[in-house]
Homo-oligomer: A and B are copies of this chain.
Amino acid sequence: MEKSSTLTQAAKEHYMKLALAQAQKAQAIGEVPIGAIVVLDGEVIGSGYNLREHDQDATAHAEMFAIRQACQNIESWRLEQSQLFVTLEPCPMCSGAMQLARVEEVYFGAYDPKGGAAGSLMTILTDERFNHWSYVEGGILATECGQILTDFFRDLRKKQKAAKKARKLALKEADE
């Protein structure tokens, strides 16, 4: 069964900006900047950002926090009629979580050709063999969502290069 979006383009971009604000929180503490929100009836009922390094938890993805918070908020594991916004195409774990929570519409920003499970490498959310599937749309504010990641990894490489240079200099000084 073909599913369709219930939102205008302006609404999609509005909510994606809120997901981007979550991604900025991750960036501020040195985490890969990915953010997500869950919307129900026009209200944000869950939000989260990547905390993998901070929490040292492989499952600490933005979407997982957003989904869990949404479930807590409405006191139900069924997020039917909800929309989820995430700045990067979701991985298999997060796509699976959205499917289990019966999220109705999934919107993501940048595509992830190396690990995306919402179209790039797999299509978990639209696989009709499972007992729930979602409307999926990628590329919402794709430039902004991609840029924050590009900037993060460029800065990270710079820092790593500077640290390497400092280590070399310290070794050279110790030799002299």
Contact = CB atoms under 8 A, between A and B. Distances in A.
A147 B15 CA distance: 46
A41 interface: no
B97 A77 contact: no
Interface string A87-100: 00001111111011
A92 B58 contact: no
Interface stretch (A16-24, A116-124, A160-168): A116-124
Given A58-B77, A92-B92, A100-B58, A121 B117 contact: no
Interface stretch (A3-11, A64-72, A138-146, A148-156): A64-72
Contact of A68 (B57, B71, B94, B95): B57
Contacts of A95: 92-93, 96
Contacts of A81: none
Contacts of A55: 71, 77
A159 interface: no
A101 interface: yes
Interface of A: 52-53, 55-61, 64, 67-68, 71-72, 75-79, 91-97, 99-102, 114-115, 117, 121-122, 124, 127, 129-131
